[in-house]
Amino acid sequence: MPFSFYLASRYFAIRRPRNIIQWISWVGVIGIAVGTMALVVILAVFNGLSHLIERSITQFDPDIKIISKQGKYFQPDTTLEKYLKQNRITFSKVLEGKALATNKTHQHLVYIKGVDENYTKTSGIQEVIYQGEYNLTENNIILGYGVAYLLQAKLENVLSPTHIKVPKMFKGMPLSEEAAVHSLSAINKGIFLFNQKEFDDQYIICSLNYAQDLFIQEGGISAYELKISNRREVFRVQKELQTRYGSQFQVLTWYDQHKALYKVMRAEKRIAYVVIFLLTLIAASTILSALMMLVIDKQKDIGILLAMGTSPGQIQGIFLWQGVMMGLFGLLIGILSGLLVCFSQHRWQWFKLPNPESFIVDYYPVRIYAADLIVIVLSTLLITLFAAFYPAKKASQTLPKFLV
């Protein structure tokens, strides 16, 4: 055992009653512990919310979306489809566009999404059917929960169908509404609920053939939606597709489709980390004060050690180890406490979300990543070392009393 470590452990273990230095030291240790626990819990909550939002989004949006660079609609590409089939990549053809949904008393601007029979394999639509059934044969449609509410839509009521209207492309002034608008009726077969207002309040899903008739796009589509069996391969597949078909198509991953949202979530996580880290830094300053007072208190001991031949470097090491031990002790308590809080929250859901209707769950979800724990441990040890360095340096410059 190194000499400096041995003496530091002795100083750390000895507890004198009513010693103000020991009390200050414990304030620093508790501050490190609280800051570390807060970091573990806050980062776990951010990870849980990010995962929850990502899971909700990817139930509707595909792993990869391929759109045309030349225009909104295009004819299916047989070469691309052949490549996808050869590589066993599940895909569906979709056609999206804006439209006006109306019934006898209500109307709402929506996005119509026409999908083929493979859509159930590329999305989680069947898992989120709230009412009715997933049946897109003929002129059947499935409405988002918010759309159904705003239209006061009734399921399978042929006497009160939903009318979908889109403007026609023409030159000059239309003579009537029928000349300006293309309209089709539809039967409401079901309601889906993703717990994402972006989808639930704006989308109506129908068959691809129905959408092609509505937008007057014979055989046309607006995108290919791909499902990748191994999600770790998404970016590799994107790169390959972009290399092969980049001149015609734009290949977007799940991240690209909501890049702004993911950037905001990451920025919020970083800001939360910095704020809590600053609180931990304040706690580390308490360790610095405690070590400075300990150096003053141990002047006699330092003088004796120097007189016995202990080098200044070993003296410095004693107080560096003392600071590291204080930081490690607080770090250990904080990590274990944070993990315990996260485990209990995951198991018993103590803390509830303020607006549970906006999410799939009604409590704060937590997810712990090893990378976050490593960053917390390294950053906390680093600030502890910085806090201990100055007092340790001052201790190494102390002269024996009889030389002063």
Mean pLDDT across the chain: 86
- DSSP one-letter code for 298: T
- Helix 312-348, helix 3-13: angle, nearest 10: 60
The residues, any chain, with a CB within 8 Å of residue 369's CB and separated by 6 or more, are 43, 47
Q: Does the pLDDT value for residue 403 go beyond 50?
A: no
- Predicted pLDDT at 164: 95
- Predicted pLDDT at 174: 54
Q: Which two tokens stand for residue 239?
A: 């790169």
Strand partners, 113: 96, 205
Residues found in the chain: 404
Pairwise pLDDT comparison (281 vs 169), residue with the higher score = 281
Q: Does the pLDDT value for residue 145 go beyond 60?
A: yes
The per-residue pLDDT for range 66-125, each reduced to its tens digit, is 999 988 999 999 999 999 999 999 999 999 999 999 988 899 999 999 999 999 999 989
- DSSP one-letter code for 222: S
Give the three-class secondary structure for 268. helix
Rounded-to-integer distance, Cα 39 and Cα 294, Å: 29
CB count within 10 Å of CB 388 equals 25
Global confidence as pTM: 0.78
183 dihedral zone (left: phi>0; alpha: psi -120 to 50; beta)? beta
H or E element at residue 110: strand 107-115
- Predicted pLDDT at 1: 54
Rounded-to-integer distance, Cα 329 and Cα 336, Å: 11
The per-residue pLDDT for range 346-375, each reduced to its tens digit, is 999 888 877 666 566 778 899 999 999 999
- Predicted pLDDT at 68: 95
- Predicted pLDDT at 404: 46
- Predicted pLDDT at 7: 67
Pairwise pLDDT comparison (44 vs 195), residue with the higher score = 44
- Predicted pLDDT at 320: 86
Q: Does the pLDDT value for residue 172 go beyond 60?
A: no
In contact, 150 and 102? CB cutoff 8 Å: no
CA nearest to 198, candidates 97, 340, 93, 53: 53
